[in-house]
Structure formats: C-alpha cells, structure tokens
Amino acid sequence: MEAARIRFQTSLEGVTSDDLRGGFWVGWPSPPSPEEHLRMLAGSEAFVLAIDEEAPTSARVVGFVTAIGDGVLAAFLPFLEVLPSWHHRGIGSELVRLVLAELEPRYVVDLVCEDDVIPFYERLGFERYGAMIRRDRSAIGGDRRAGSEPGAGNETIREG
C-alpha cells in the first residue's frame, strides 16, 4: 500500500458524492448512484473510507467498508469495495481491520461473501459458517432513484 498516499477515515467530513464516482459496484446490474452511496454510508453504524490524498478534487475514495448492527452485540458487514485499479495493495485488509476495531467489542460480526474471497476473510480471522440470504433484485432497479422512500410500495395489508 502506498502509505503516504492513502488516508483512512471514519467520518464523512469533507466527503461529497463526487468523491464516490470512481467506479465502485463492479458487476452490479444497476449500481447505486454516488448520492445513494453517500446516504448509505451516512446510514451505517460504522464505516471506513480509504481516500487517495493525491487524487484530483473528485473521485478521491478508492475503497470503503460498511457495518450495520445493534450497537451492542451484533454487526454485519454488507459491503467491502476497493476500486479494481487499487486491488492487491492491502487496502481491503486494512479497511476490515479498522472497521472491526470501530465495532469492538462485539460477540458477532458476520458477513456473506462469494466463494472466491473466502480465503481473504479467513486471513482476517473470519471462519466459514452456514448462511441464508434473501435478495430482492427489484430493490436495485431504477425506482429507488426516483426519490422513493425505503419500503415505499412494499407494505403488506392483513385483514382479519
């Protein structure tokens, strides 16, 4: 890692949506906009950003990790992303180490990942464990960008 060039930050101070325009969400059919990405970071219990100090005034964030949790015993790491041009420099490992430090002490810190990155997380102290997931692909479609509120149109009405 180019230590002098990368700064890790646990706040959104000085960060705008323009700083998130670097090309995250590789392979997503409808990736979050930079504005949505910024709101996602703000709504997380904890997050860590990797910022390129030598970047121009925009697209300065080269990696991030987020955590959501109950603030006491449990947390979940839904996203760890490092821009492809910054892979294999230790940034992802440092992001995970730093977010785990932010979450201490927790009994449970879980994540779900693709098989090809299991060895990466094992090196950071995670263990294989069974998991169940549910994905609503429509939640990453165009409707969320129209300013709709989370959960809008998803209410269940029960009678009786």
153: nearest Cα among 133, 140, 139: 139
Record the tokens describing residue 4, joined without a space.
Answer: 């002098």
CATH number, domain of 111, equals: 3.40.630.30
63-72, 97-106, 150-159, range with the lowest pLDDT? 150-159
- Return the sign of the alpha-carbon dihedral for residues 54, 80, 23, 141: negative
pLDDT in tens, 43-81: 999 999 999 999 877 779 999 999 999 999 999 999 999
pTM greater than the 0.85 cutoff: no
Judge whether 14 lies within some domain. Answer: yes
Total domains in the fold of the chain: 1
55: nearest Cα among 7, 124, 120: 7
Nearest-angstrom CA–CA distance, 85 and 92: 12
Judge whether 155 lies within some domain. Answer: no
Torsion of CA 152, 154, 157, 158, to 10 degrees: -140
Contact (Cβ atoms closer than 8 angstroms) between residue 68 and residue 48: no
Residue 101: domain span: 6-146
Confidence of residue 3 (pLDDT cuts 50, 70, 90): low
> Would the pLDDT of 109 be above 80?
yes
90: nearest Cα among 48, 120, 60, 118: 120
